[in-house]
Structure formats: C-alpha cells, structure tokens
A = this chain, B = another copy of it.
Amino acid sequence: MTSEEQDTARPRRIRLGMVGGGQGAFIGGVHRIAARIDDRFELVAGALSSTPEKALASAAEIGLDPERSYGSYVEMAATEAEREDGIEAVAIVTPNHMHFPVAKTFLEVGIHVICDKPMTTTLAEAQELAEIAAASGKIFVLTHNYTGYPMIRQARAMVAAGDLGTIRMVHAEYIQDWLADRAEDTGSKQAGWRVDPAKAGAGGSIGDIGTHAHNLACFVTGLKVERLSADLSSFVEGRELDDNANMLLRFAGGAKGMLWASQVAVGNENGLSLRVYGDKGGLEWRQEEPNRLWFTPLGEPKRLLTRGGAGANAAAAAVSRIPAGHPEGYLEGFATIYAEAAELIHASDAGEAPPDGLALPALADGIDGLAFIEACVASSQNDGAWTAL
C-alpha cells in the first residue's frame, strides 16, 4: 500500500489464483477487490466452484481466461505449477473444511498461499499444515483482515510503545445479528455452511467471528490468552453450533479480559470492538467506525485519534492511502493484507529477509485460532472450567 508515494519503481504484479469465491460467495469477491486495490496482484486462474459449470460461469463473470478456469483445485495446482506463466500465489476462500487440503496441495507444488481464517477446522490440522508450510519454504498468509486497519496498527504500536503502561484489562466483542433467526433455512449459502459442523468445524460463532476478536485482542496487546472460561449457546432452535459465546480470559502476564461473540444480537451488524486498559491509559476502537481510535491517558481528557489526523502515528500512516476525513473501510484494510503479502512474497522469492514493519498474520496465528476454538468448546462442555489454550 501507499505505493503511490514510493521512491522506486513498482515491482511487477504477482500472478494469483483463487480457490472458491464463485457465484453466491461473499469473501471471494472481497479478496479480489483487496488484491486489486494496491495493484500488486493479477488474478489469472481460478477453481471458483466445486461445480464445474458454476466455476466456468463464475470465471466468465470476473473476466478470467476460460482456459485457466479449473473444475478442481487439484487440477489447477498441477497445471499451474507446470506453466511457465503459472500462478505464484493462491487465495483460498472456500468454506473452512477445505482450507487444509487446498493449502496443503498448493504448498506442496511450491505455490504461496493466502488463506482465509480459520486456518483449518481442527488444531491438529493446523499444526500439520504449519509443518507442511515450513517444509515447503513458501509463504502462508492468514487473512485476519482486521489487523490491516490503520487505527489497529496505531493501537498496536501505542501499546508496544508503553502508552498504556502495563495492560490490565482487554475487552473484545464481535457481535452480529444475521443469524438471529433461521437464516440457514432461507437458502443462504453463507448461513448454510457456517452452521454445519462438517464444513465449519467445531466452532460456530467462535470460529467465524470469535477468532477475529481473539486475534485482534492479541495482535494489539501483544499478549497471549493463557486460559479461558467459556459459555457457548445455540439460541436458535435446531442449531448444532454455537451462535453466542460468552467468555472470561486470562492473559499471560496477568491481564484479564472478556470476549463476547454473537450472531444473534439483534441490532448489531458487524460489531467488532476492542477496548484495552493499562495503568497509564486506555484505548477504545469500533470496527464500524474504523478511522477513529479513542485514547485516554490517565488523568487527561479523552482524545480522538483519526486515521491521517494530527495524532496518527507512523504505523497507521504506513497503511493509509488517503487523507484524514476520507474514510477508508473494510476493503482497504483487507487490501493492506494483500499488499503486505506481496512484499513478503517478493522478499521470499528473492531469498531476502521479510521487510521491516510488516504485521501479517501467519501460521502461528492460525494455530492460536484453532487452539482458541478448541479451548472454547472444551471449557463450555466442562461447565466453564478454566481451560488452557
């Protein structure tokens, strides 16, 4: 990102493939826009659907060369790995249960992977995938996209700089309402797989959105959740997976916290928020107003820090495209993940160390996410007993 201001010539675009993201999908389109915004990738191949005709129709819609629209990801991996102009990276945007086999397949033929979260559906798979990735020498990026928001980068840098002192409390929420009634009965593809343990894994709301809240809390504070006590519910009748999760957190080092994930909180669209308090100050951020960060130094008035504004720090500026007051949103935050992934891939391909200042979620974050999900389920099944991650 901020490519417009660089001193040197832009490196060529990375050739990208995509698995998943055909008609009716949501996150595939998001990845494609994100990949275009900073112009570091060129989408040239896809296995957009597991239904071949749908894959072809989806490819036509987005202007893919029909020859490089594949009916299966296995075929795509094999073919593209052989082409001289084959894809260098693949974006995996399928339902959760396909993340592991697809990522494995591409890593093993030497193609970098950009994968939606959660990394896999089980912790064991996540650990196995980490080994596969390490052996492959290829880049694995996990799109915990909210870490790409400028004010989240700012918050992280402020905590690291000690602006909040020793962290005492961390409160994270991710609350929505789109599953407040039986959306899965309406034919919604989005709802359908998310409530199906075979496709989503053991976590419902905790896997789909709770992992984002957990990741963000850790990303900003630099702290690990050591133990948690969870109370998962399936409020909507007939639903197997949790649609609401209340939990208490204990962080390594002594901080404590709470995390609430819900997809049945009527009146909340995409209510991800984070509040962090230390002995010297407090920070508050809400995803629906992502350009604002509230900072209160102990004993002083609350200050409104804005993306690009007078109080923005270098970490925020590094991932901002436009001036203060011109809202950047969800797609821009996502694009930052892609832009940084491009930098990492170029460095990797050149055999260089990763550039300074990147903050990309990767294998360890994916493993943490699965450990979180499994601890939530275990704690809740064990009447809320404190459970280690």
Contacts and interface: CB of A to CB of B under 8 A. Distances in A.
Interface in A172-200: 176-178, 180-181
A266 B248 contact: no
- As for how many copies of this chain the complex holds, the number is 4
Interface in A1-21: 3-10, 12-13
A267 B284 contact: yes
A168 B179 CA distance: 13
A331 B321 contact: yes
A298 B13 contact: no
Band of interface residues on A: 35 or more
Contacts of A296: 177, 266-267
A276 to B, nearest CB: 10
B331 A168 contact: no
A275 B266 CA distance: 10
A383 B384 contact: no
Contact of A61 (B3, B229, B383): B3
Q: Which of A260, A289, A310 has the most CB of B within 10 A?
A: A310
Contacts of A329: 291, 326-329, 331-332
Given A256-B231, A310-B299, A325-B288, A262 B330 contact: no
Interface stretch (A32-40, A133-141, A354-362): A32-40
B235 A246 contact: no
Contact of A324 (B4, B269, B295): B269
Contacts of A305: 301
Given A180-B279, A256-B231, A311 B301 contact: yes
A337 B183 CA distance: 33
A13 B9 CA distance: 24
Contacts of A269: 306, 308-309, 323-325
Contact of A244 (B256, B267, B325): B256
A322 B326 contact: no
A231 B248 CA distance: 8
A270 B326 CA distance: 7
Contact of A294 (B29, B267, B295, B327): B267
A30 interface: yes
Interface in A308-350: 308-311, 321-332
For the complex of A and B, the 8 pairs showing the least CB-CB separation, nearest first, are: A270-B325, A269-B325, A267-B296, A327-B329, A4-B29, A301-B311, A267-B282, A266-B282
10 contacts: A3-B62, A9-B60, A39-B62, A229-B229, A229-B248, A246-B257, A269-B308, A269-B309, A290-B327, A328-B329
